Amino acid sequence: MFKFFGKKLESLLVPRTQLSVISVQLLLITGLLFISSCGFHLRGAAGYNLSLVYIQSESADRVANEVKRRLTEGGVQVVPTTSAAQAVVYLRHETIDRRVLTVSSVSGKQEEFELNYRVELEVRKPDDTVLLEKQTLSLLRDYLFDETAVLAMGAEEEVLREDMFRDIVAQIMRRLQVLQLGKRELSQLAFEGLKPKYSVGEQMVVNLVEKNTRKTPVDIWLSISIGKNLWFVTPTENESQAWQLSQEPQAWQRNVAPTQTRHRVLDFTVPAKAGGKYTLRAVYTKAGAGLDLSNLAPSLRSNIVESSTVFENQ
């Protein structure tokens, strides 16, 4: 678990005739203004009929980061592990190639170029059931090169590359919008008061805060890890020690009412000889559902919140 969770710019580009430096520069300025006025991406677009997605990038980080941003803004949680996802989105081999299309028969110089932007997309469930077959999305654009306006031509190519990048991302988002996996309301959790570093003897006080209102009771799971070692934080009846650690998955609190949206999860003095980096994670699940580490998606009722801190030995 807690390893857990319109108008194309083609009409603005250089026509297949020679342009003066001033004309190209004006053209590029117009294109950039158009991009700026439209925004980098469309907001308020069609929604998604799913809530939990894991994104796996293989040499496609730029596209993957933009897809993650758009999904998040569309209300979809990008989770840190496949077992917590309804769908696993694979993005692979993002490339953009540039090749010569034509060479002048008079001067022998390169006159026309083509850009080919490609990325591979595949979507599966965590159990490897195919949702979208593996496919390569590809775009082609060509433009003329004027050696008398090298700087303007370079800027033109950059505008063209950005236009292709937006088009590729838009294609991916349209494909994700057809997935019908079920939408659910997810609580937004955050840790409050956790500092990046603590010294021996310092008081550590951390709250788990719910940022929105839910309508149903939940179970809360809390874990602490250092390196590969993972412990679940569980309650205890010992009045001098409010919690204890267990290697077996156990809920920190069960059947938590919708009115309880703020929880003191840790309040203790940092002991000596406990130095290291600690990672704290928490999640809501459906009350009474338990925790299936191989398939978290059906029971999740919140984001998986994660934060780290360092205990110093002196």
At 185 the pLDDT is: 87
- pLDDT over 70, % of the chain: 76
At 177 the pLDDT is: 96
At 46 the pLDDT is: 55
At 20 the pLDDT is: 41
Domain boundaries, the chain: 15-176, 189-311
Higher pLDDT, 9 or 70: 70
Residue 128 has pLDDT above 60, yes or no: yes
189: tokens are 């959790």
pTM value? 0.75
Residue 9 has pLDDT above 50, yes or no: no
Banded pLDDT at 7 (limits 50, 70, 90)? very low
pLDDT tens for residues 178-198? 999 999 889 999 999 999 999
At 30 the pLDDT is: 44
Q: How far apart are CA 176 and CA 169, in angstroms?
A: 11
At 94 the pLDDT is: 96
At 196 the pLDDT is: 97
Q: How far apart are CA 161 and CA 171, in angstroms?
A: 15
Neighbours of 147 (CB within 10 A): 10
How many residues make up the chain in this entry?
A: 314
Mean pLDDT of 242-252: 89
Q: How far apart are CA 298 and CA 286, in angstroms?
A: 8
Residue 43 has pLDDT above 50, yes or no: no
115: tokens are 């850009």
pLDDT tens for residues 77-122? 999 999 999 999 999 999 998 766 566 555 556 567 788 999 999 9
At 65 the pLDDT is: 97
Domain 15-176 part of CATH 3.40.50.10860: no
At 252 the pLDDT is: 95
Mean pLDDT of 20-24: 41
Mean pLDDT of 212-233: 93
Higher pLDDT, 224 or 105: 224
Mean pLDDT of 144-153: 54
DSSP 147: G
C-alpha dihedral, 153 to 157 to 160 to 166, nearest 10°: -150
Domain 189-311 part of CATH 2.60.40: yes
pLDDT tens for residues 272-307? 999 999 999 999 999 999 888 889 999 999 999 999
Whole-number average pLDDT of the chain: 82
Give the N- to C-terminal CA distance of the chain in Å, as an integer: 33
Angle between helices 150-176 and 61-73 (to 10 degrees): 50
Burial of 114 from C-beta contacts in 10 A (0-12 / 13-18 / 19+): middle
Mean pLDDT of 25-31: 43
